[in-house]
């Protein structure tokens, strides 16, 4: 995460500010990494999804 996201978490802001970047590790039920998601908050970009743009990447060798 970047400094904006960290500050929002530490301040218990309840919502991420514009410009926040978060990286999430998505694990399968068997505790193996299934994907990594990078999320960037940009006001007005995608109101239906909380104004986030994101990229989700599966592990090496996984297609689709």
The pLDDT value recorded for residue 5 is 98
**Which residues sit opposite 22 in a β-bridge?**
39
CB 25 within 8 A of CB 36: yes
Query: Of 5, 23, 24, nearest to 15 (Cα)?
Result: 5
Across the range 22-41, mean pLDDT stands at 94
Could you tell me the pTM of the whole model? 0.80
The pLDDT value recorded for residue 63 is 55
- Residue-wise pLDDT for 20-30, tens only, equals 999 999 999 99
């Amino acid at each position: 995460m970047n400094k904006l996201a960290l500050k929002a978490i530490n301040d218990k802001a309840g919502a991420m500010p514009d410009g926040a970047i978060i990286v999430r590790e998505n694990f399968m039920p068997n505790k193996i990494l299934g994907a990594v998601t990078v999320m960037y908050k940009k006001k007005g970009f995608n109101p239906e999804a909380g104004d986030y743009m994101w990229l989700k990447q599966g592990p090496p060798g996984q297609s689709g």
